[in-house]
Amino acid sequence: MLELIDWIIIAGYFVLSLAIGLHFRKRAGKNLTEFFLGGRAMPWYLAGLSMVATTFAADTPLAVNELVAQHGIAGNWLWWNMLLGGMLTTFFFARLWSRSGILTEVELIEFRYGGKPAAWLRGFKAAYLGLFMNSLIIGWVNIALVTILKVFFDIPQSEALWYVAGAMLVTAFYSALSGLWGVTVTDAVQFIIAMTGCIILAFLVLNSEQIGGITGLKERLPASSLDFFPVIGNNESTGTVLALSAASFLAYLSIWAFSWYPGAEPGGGGYVVQRMMSTRSEKESIYATLFFQIANYCLRPWPWILVGLCTLILYPELGEDDKKLGYVMAMKDFLPAGLKGLMLVAFFAAYMSTIATQLNWGASYLVNDLYKRFIKPEAKFRNMEAAHRNYVYAGRLVTFLTMLAGLFATTQITTIAGVWSFIIECGAGLGLVLILRWYWWRINAWSEISATLTPFVAYAVAHFILKMEFPVSFFFTVGTTTTVWLAATFLTRPESEQVLTGFYKKVQPQGFWNPLRKKLNLPEPGSLIPLFICWISAAAMTYSILFTTGYFIFAETAKAFIWLGVASASLIIFGYAVKKAGIF
């Protein structure tokens, strides 16, 4: 299966990853800010590239291959829709996160709210996100790599799991050693390797005798599978066209605003916030996040989509549940010696970039927001130097413990799609609170507590008592959660003036803060309208670039130039709005 050159390439990649970890070990050992935020000295392009690399996991090409094989190009709208939430984070929240000066997303809770409810919520979210949710994410990424190795090497799952455990151990080692700097630098290297491998595979498969280039691909596939947009108003898919009921379309279109999902959290969250706060300035946090959104949706998808379309022709015998395996089968069948090793390295790179981030990000919650906050605060140490040493040591230890938790979760997961569904629906309705806590003074700790816990109850009622299915269950959970958190907000007291004042003066948010502004005699902030124009025009520009690239690939020049015109117009409007907003 693999030649000597393939094994040399794979071994060289692992050695390089470890070397980068060793290089940054001293810097990471200084304090928690260095270990988890890179000393807030990360250049924007490195932070942005790290975000893109993290979202490119081992399961991503397989998931796209499955969507395309089942529903055509339009199937990608099941994740393309999340660009709206990403761009909202870029222009409405990146600056605010940077100004906050906190170490983790969860630390914001006791900065924005006060008292015991805030302390309880911070501790709960640190454990829930840093351990439970993080383990689920690591588990599904592990399962994807296990699937790849099973098919590629034709080995049993138990053997593939041992290989994955070995890759995870290497990842945990360099992550624990080097902190965020090592993670982001390896992310950059890993992303370049991964995308190079995917582009080479797409070129070889597309230009094979079986396909015959773009012309042959278009001749062998129904035109409907090449449509960029879904058919709205039907409940059933016809052929390979994505056909959605109006309710399903509305649900997918609104997930970004209402539901918590890793990497696409409303208002920003998780590793996206970590990267934004690691940059050198507010301006660079915006640059990093904008670069992430454009690269995520414009640079990555087309090599995966092309291979997915080709697998419809190459492997028509694959059933609905196995269509994702077409990508791995194409690797086996079309890559020569040397390139097989490169492509395996590409998948290991995609896998390790995601796992490294999850380990570092999860450890930041467990150390900063549990251990340091509740178990061993700074006051218990004889001096700050001893505290820093202890916290960094704890960060490294927790990195390995998180790895073990992730491995355990891997053995318990039977379906990746089931995990995705659970996460989306058990966060349904929370999104609005995460957005409004920055822009509405009346949001308090009980708002977020109720919005965090209610979806679990609503999910159970919807699925196990009322026997609902998506999207009805999603709307039920969103409606129930929204009703509960609004009631909790108005039935409980606002946060104290001291807490609100401290938050407002440091973060300087726009929006609905007039009662506090008047009381403190503070000036009115600028209008939010330029930010809305930035958001919409940047999203339109990114979608247009995505479509322009696709239509040029498929030699549909007229459509390509139309979308290029839309992209150019959006860019002009965006430039005007940016000046008005004064954000760059």
Domain ranges of the chain: 4-421, 426-525, 526-584
CA distance 474 to 480: 10
Q: Model confidence over 25-45: pLDDT tens digits?
A: 888 888 999 999 999 999 999
Residue 238 has pLDDT above 80, yes or no: no
Fill in the amino acid letter for 81. N
Q: Model confidence over 157-203: pLDDT tens digits?
A: 889 999 999 999 999 999 999 999 999 999 999 899 989 999 999 99
Identify the pLDDT of residue 299: 85
Six token digits for residue 270: 């998780």
What confidence category does residue 357 fall into, taking pLDDT thresholds of 50, 70 and 90? very high
Residue 415 has pLDDT above 90, yes or no: no
Q: pLDDT higher for 413 or 383? A: 383
Segment 311-323 mean pLDDT: 87
Q: Which of 578, 92, 96, 86 is nearest to 291 (CA)?
A: 86
Q: Model confidence over 134-164: pLDDT tens digits?
A: 998 899 889 889 988 998 888 998 899 999 9
Fold that domain 4-421 belongs to in CATH: Sodium/glucose cotransporter (1.20.1730)
Q: Which residues share a beta bridge with 244? A: 232
Identify the pLDDT of residue 252: 67
Q: What is the dihedral of CA 443, 360, 12, 151, to 10 degrees?
A: -70
Residue 349: CB atoms within 10 A of its CB come to 27
Q: Which helix (H) or strand (E) holds 244?
A: strand 243-244
What confidence category does residue 237 fall into, taking pLDDT thresholds of 50, 70 and 90? very low
Segment 424-435 mean pLDDT: 89
- For 135, residues 6+ apart whose C-beta sits below 8 A from its C-beta are 402, 405, 406, 408, 409
The answer to whether the CB of 372 falls within 8 A of the CB of 145 is no
Identify the pLDDT of residue 327: 92
Return the HEC string of 186-238.
Answer: HHHHHHHHHHHHHHHHHHHHHCCCCCCHHHHHHHHCCHHHHCCCCEECCCCCE
CA distance 410 to 303: 28
CA distance 258 to 205: 39
Q: Which residues share a beta bridge with 512? A: 440
Q: Which residues share a beta bridge with 200? A: none
Q: What is the dihedral of CA 510, 514, 516, 520, to 10 degrees?
A: 100
Identify the pLDDT of residue 417: 57
Identify the pLDDT of residue 119: 97
Residue 112 — φ and ψ, nearest 5°? -85, -30
Identify the pLDDT of residue 420: 67
**pTM metric for this prediction:** 0.91
Identify the pLDDT of residue 200: 94
Identify the pLDDT of residue 5: 86
Residue 401 has pLDDT above 50, yes or no: yes
Which ranges in 259-338 belong to alpha helices (H)? 270-278, 282-294, 301-314, 326-334
Q: pLDDT higher for 434 or 1? A: 434
Six token digits for residue 416: 């990746």
Fill in the amino acid letter for 459. Y
% of the chain at pLDDT higher than 70:
95
Sign of CA dihedral 225, 231, 237, 239: negative
Sign of CA dihedral 429, 431, 437, 441: negative
CA distance 260 to 136: 14
What confidence category does residue 312 fall into, taking pLDDT thresholds of 50, 70 and 90? very high
Q: Which of 351, 335, 333, 353 is nearest to 343 (CA)?
A: 335
Q: Which of 131-135, 424-428, 445-449 has the lowest mean pLDDT?
A: 424-428
CA distance 346 to 10: 9
229 to each of 70, 78, 476, how far by Cα in Å?
14, 11, 27
Residue 19: CB atoms within 10 A of its CB come to 12
Q: Model confidence over 81-132: pLDDT tens digits?
A: 889 999 999 999 999 999 999 999 999 999 999 999 999 999 999 999 999 9
Residue 238 — φ and ψ, nearest 5°? -110, 115
Residue 239 has pLDDT above 60, yes or no: no
The answer to whether the CB of 147 falls within 8 A of the CB of 416 is no
Highest mean pLDDT among 337-346, 416-425, 487-496 belongs to 487-496
The chain-wide mean pLDDT, for the chain, equals 90
DSSP string, 318-345: --GGGGGGHHHHHHHHH--TTHHHHHHH
* Helix-strand-coil split of the chain, %, nearest 5: 80, 0, 20
Reduce the DSSP state of residue 440 to 3 states and report it. strand
98 to each of 37, 146, 358, 390, how far by Cα in Å?
12, 38, 21, 26
Identify the pLDDT of residue 308: 94
CA distance 67 to 74: 8
Q: pLDDT higher for 52 or 246? A: 52
Segment 254-259 mean pLDDT: 74
Task: Write down the residue that tokens 């954000």 correspond to.
Answer: 583
CA distance 144 to 59: 5
